[in-house]
Structure 1
Amino acid sequence: MSAELTGFTAEELYATGLVTEYRDLVAREAGPDNYARLVGGEPHTVPELVRAMTRLWYTGSWPGLRGGAGPYLVSARAYAGALVWRAAGTPAPGTTAPGFGSWSAPPPDGIPR
């Protein structure tokens, strides 16, 4: 289901290393009844949960559900592995160094100096 929601393949999602953590989080935050509907093939009955899962994958943050915990960042690893960075083709800001001596080369054309 996450592959359908995000547009990334199951292999790409597993490569993030976050599948188990996210599955456990969704099960906990959704509650047993909503989670059973979700995995039982009735995602249309829990649209708020489906939107929250999509947001979780793309941002690494849980947006919260009505009556549940408020929004929170899942972890530093979730932030770094958020799909928004893969979609943009760039690492998450603050997660990778630009490389030794990168400051000595001029920026590519089109980037202000």
Structure 2
Amino acid sequence: MEEFLVLSSHLTGFSPDELREDGLASELLAVVLEQVGAETYRRLAAAPDARDEELVSLAEALIHLWYTGSWPGLAGSGGPFVVSPQAYAGALVWRAIGGRAPGTSAPGFGSWAEPAEVGVDGTGWGR
């Protein structure tokens, strides 16, 4: 698991500790192993900066998996799919934009009556 977190950290820009926070690592690793097999995964883990087309595609798929909670589909590995509701809600894209996944948490009754928190860029994205 630690190897997967270090590789994922290298690819996503989030630290291994940040990737552990939502408890999704084992579920996402299981998807990778199921979709591409242990041997292909081990090749990527051994050489994450490899220029081999297959490994580059896998690295991109792994980034996609962490950021969206969905498997993008690769040649020979089936089509795209959402891993789970938890993977969708815990996807890194929501942390990257400072928000929450739509439909996963209600802001609370009457929240519309309060002014939105203003982000650094002057928008309401900070909420």
> Cα deviation per residue 1:47-85 (whole Å; 9 max; x = unaligned)?
111100000000001001101110001111011000000
The partner residue of 1:42 within 32, 35, 47 is: 47
Provide runs of 4+ in structure 1 moved above 3 Å: 105-111
Aligned Cα RMSD in Å? 1.8
Is residue 35 of structure 2 the alignment partner of residue 26 of structure 1? no
Q: CA deviation at 1:108?
A: 6.5
**Residues in 2 aligned to 1:61 and 1:72: alpha-carbon distance in whole angstroms:** 6
After TM superposition, the structure 1 stretch with the greater mean CA deviation from structure 2, 88-97 or 28-37, is: 28-37
Corresponding letter in the other structure for 2:10: E
Give the gaps of 5 or more residues in structure 1. none
**Residues in 1 aligned to 2:117 and 2:59: alpha-carbon distance in whole angstroms:** 40
2:79 counterpart residue number: 70
Corresponding letter in the other structure for 1:60: G
Please give the residue correspondences for 1:1-113 in structure 2 after superposition, counting only pairs within 5 Å: 1-39=7-45, 41-43=46-48, 44=50, 45=52, 46-105=55-114
User: Structure 2-normalised TM-score?
Assistant: 0.78
Q: CA deviation at 1:103?
A: 2.6
Corresponding letter in the other structure for 2:78: A
User: Structure 1-normalised TM-score?
Assistant: 0.87
**Residues in 1 aligned to 2:67 and 2:84: alpha-carbon distance in whole angstroms:** 13
